[in-house]
Structure 1
């Protein structure tokens, strides 16, 4: 059984969305492209955005991202918000969902939700139930990673998230995503087969707007 890896950084991974570097040639397999808050070049924002616009138009570009807001990086918050908004507009233009990087800025990100015409997926979600509920209420999807295997609080959060709003990912971690599917299926009271099919349906849903 193949398990879809919603967000990963390994070119050798066969089935998922690879997080591409916009400075490199586009890969010949499904990828996302975006400008991470830590990579914003204040003196070169326009070339970055032009390159992203080019990559976003490719058929193999599945989503825009990672993009979003991060309270821990050097880039000024107003600059981050400007770049985030510009990437939302690119997403609207090309009709592709957004993969969101968010660190301690969830309610600021929620404020941008109404400006996006496409789905927004918070990647690597590992926060408490209350934040998850607020995000779901505002029409976000949540992608969970390796922390689900050992973080009991996150497992409790995952129990409350509707299965049609869930994705699973490896991100930078080196582990077998089948373990994550198995654990998530146990938490949700599903078979792995049903969970796998649901996540494929979720992917089709966000790709179709």
Structure 2
């Protein structure tokens, strides 16, 4: 459905120009994704997933992993993995988490604040669904809400979505209460696609790691 929106809005030319600039600026991005995700899975996720998973199951009944369909490159849907942070009765129809959301478990609140809930997405990176850095993948309901109202919105689907991104390190995360907030995020996403480089990715990853250990008030 997202891929059809890309075609019907007549922006294929702009998308091609963006991706051409992106490919020239960062031809080895997929290699970096494979190497880094493999190392993290072997040395960290191999013991962190069981450890955090057991804690999730012991503190709230239900599965340790939350799987949600999201839009990826060229609108292709994929199963995005996250540690479950909500009570099982609160993760049906998509509704963004809000501050002091009663659906979020106490452990889930900690995982969200430290971004540890995103760790399973390194498996998505290894599988080729995602990249380490890029526009964040959105739930399908959120895509349906914005792709016709924001003319440049489908352009963000030209590359693989990321675990973190330029928009996120600049505070564009959490719930979206009006269209202008999404427009602001999309501007950052398109700027990243135009300026993507190995150095920029390192910088954004370091900013993300720093946020994990500071007062990350935008994550709830």
Which structure carries more strand by proportion? 1
Pair member with larger Rg: 2
Give the TM-score normalised by the residue count of structure 2. Answer: 0.30
Which structure carries more helix by proportion? 2
Give the TM-score normalised by the residue count of structure 1. Answer: 0.31
- Which structure has more RCO (C-alpha within 8 Å, separation ≥ 6)? 2
